[in-house]
Amino acid sequence: MSYKLDLRKSVSNLFGQLSTNEILRMFKDKPISRRTIFRVLKDCHEDKEPENKKNLVSVRTTKSLLSNAKNKVGQSTRRLSGKFEVSYVTVHNILKKNNVFYRKRKRAPKYTARQLEIIPKCCRELRRKHFVNGKFMILDDESYFTFSHHELSGNDGFYTENIVSTPDNVKYASKAKFEPKVLVWVAISSKGISTPVIRPFGAKAIDSDTYINQCLPKLKQFIENHHTRAEIMFWPDLASSHYAKKTLNWLTAQNIPFVPKKDNPPNIPQTRPIEDFWSVLKRKVYEKGWEAQNEQQLIGRFKRKLKDINIF
């Protein structure tokens, strides 16, 4: 006799001895749904023997259940259980048997019609004109680092045996309305990482003057240390400071080849390795739920973790 049928038998044995609510409480933590308990009690009223309902899920119902589960957002085993009047364990088993597994949705850019039109053309131009003859791509970008990062995968949960006794600093991810943060700029290539530019909390965003005076000299130094001018192509993103007239004049005067704005595809972070670099670095900075108490502590932590992934 199966474990599920044993549970049904146990429910039927309590019929007439306990109230429905008492029976529901007794089986609250057992792998049997409330709907199944009500069905068993109804069978008892009608003097029917409890059956193992597992064998009563028809092929048609199984196909319909799979159709409702596959490639649908917002479905769950409990929702499907209620819709098809079977236990959530049965739903889980049907999905598993048919290799249907729960996956988390990934973030992706949302494109406009204009972007979808020009992105393929720009990508072709990048490949045919700018990244030929073994040239090294050099990319730059900036990103914010806050004192804590509770949303990071691995920091968004915890284990406990008693939620009531769990300390508040573990149970709750506290976040200030305007959390202090520092802005970090770097340039990278397959040969390494440039010296970063770190902008303290409260400093204004990077405009063209800041970009030319603080960031681009670090880019130039990085190129001189690890590349020759003939073998590289600088690929900035489309931030306004990156393509300001004075910025382009500076790059031209320093003989640094760069991707023209007309050939630079918009909104394609998935093709820019520096986006993966930020993800790796932030996982290292905030691993095991680390939090900074002040700005100096955050900057020191950032510099130490940056060395851990520096390849030169």
Of 257, 280, 281, 259, which Cα lies nearest the Cα of 268? 259
Note the pLDDT of residue 218.
Answer: 96
Q: Are 234 and 256 in contact (CB under 8 A)?
A: yes
Residue pLDDT tens, the chain, 312 long:
456 667 778 888 888 888 888 888 888 888 888 888 888 888 887 766 555 444 467 888 899 999 999 998 888 888 898 888 888 888 989 999 999 998 888 777 888 999 999 999 999 999 998 988 888 999 999 999 998 877 666 666 767 777 877 887 777 666 666 788 999 999 999 999 999 999 988 888 889 999 999 999 999 999 999 998 778 999 999 999 999 999 999 999 999 999 999 999 998 888 899 999 999 999 999 998 888 889 999 999 999 999 888 654
Query: How far from the centroid of its chain's Cα atoms is residue 230's Cα?
Result: 38
Q: Are 130 and 259 in contact (CB under 8 A)?
A: yes
What is the rounded CA–CA span in Å between residue 188 and residue 218? 11
Strands 197-199 and 136-146: unpaired
Q: What is the crossing angle of helices 77-84 and 59-69, to 10°?
A: 140
Please list, in sequence order, all residues whose beta carbon lies within 8 angstroms of the beta carbon of residue 221, skipping any fewer than 6 positions away: 194, 195
Note the pLDDT of residue 2.
Answer: 57
What domains can be seen in the chain, in order of their start residue? Answer: 3-97 (no CATH), 127-308 (3.30.420.10)
* Token pair listed for 89: 């364990």
Query: How far from the centroid of its chain's Cα atoms is residue 77's Cα?
Result: 23
- Which uninterrupted H or E stretch holds 31? none
Per-residue three-class SS string for 206-226: CCHHHHHHHHHHHHHHHHHHH
Please list, in sequence order, all residues whose beta carbon lies within 8 angstroms of the beta carbon of residue 144, skipping any fewer than 6 positions away: 181, 182, 183, 184
Q: Are 193 and 156 in contact (CB under 8 A)?
A: no
Q: Are 83 and 68 in contact (CB under 8 A)?
A: yes
> What spatial distance separates the first Cα and last Cα of the chain, rounded to whole Å?
65
Q: Whole-model pTM above 0.85?
A: no
Please list, in sequence order, all residues whose beta carbon lies within 8 angstroms of the beta carbon of residue 2, skipping any fewer than 6 positions away: 52, 54
The radius of gyration of the chain's CA atoms, rounded to the nearest angstrom, is 30
Of 202, 212, 198, which Cα lies nearest the Cα of 285? 198
